[in-house]
Amino acid sequence: MNLPQPHDLLWGMPAAGLPDDAPAWAVQALTAGQPVVVRRASCDAGWVAVGVRGQGRAQRLGVVMRLGDIQRQVRPEALRWSAPSPWPVLEALASVAAVLDASGLAWGPTGGVGYQLATGCPVVHQASDLDLLVRTPQSMTRATARELLDTFACGPCRIDVQLETPAGAVALREWAGQARRVLLKSALGPRLVQNPWHPMECAA
């Protein structure tokens, strides 16, 4: 098993691991065997920060899970969709695959699309956005980011891409823009930096 990373889906968290005041929907989700999603936050050794997902955006609960309870782990890059679909978001996922595969970078869907593909639970709808994670262990130039962003401009739905750097994540849309500093999301919280790959060199 790989060390869990943000957006990974994990199975095995028991309902008994929830706080005593956890809402009933969270208990039901874990009792039904649904996975939790790794979130970007720090926690003690032997634990991982995760989120329990219910119905709709209002049902989200941030908790921690014991690493020893993990029974199955699915990363975004393991999820694909290539069949015809009535949902624009799945059509968009199929359409971007060739471009992203050609980049040589590891990538995959997150958010509702990733959750649906991994679990079979129908959560996407006609107005769903496509959330993608692209792993960028090496620096990506802003010119390359703009080229990549342009390829998504004509998709059947809005496509939001997070570039996962060794220091955290930055939105492709921001890195492709003109702002001198961009928002880097890390386990220590969000901050503005000039270089998402080497944030300490130009810390805000």
Catalytic residue list = 129, 131
Residue type, 106: A
* Contact in structure between 113 and 93 (CB atoms under 8 Å): yes
Look at phi and psi of residue 99 and say left if phi exceeds 0, alpha if psi is from -120 to 50, else beta.
alpha
Instruction: Please choose, from the candidates 79, 98, 81, the residue with its C-alpha nearest in 3D space to the C-alpha of residue 148.
Output: 98
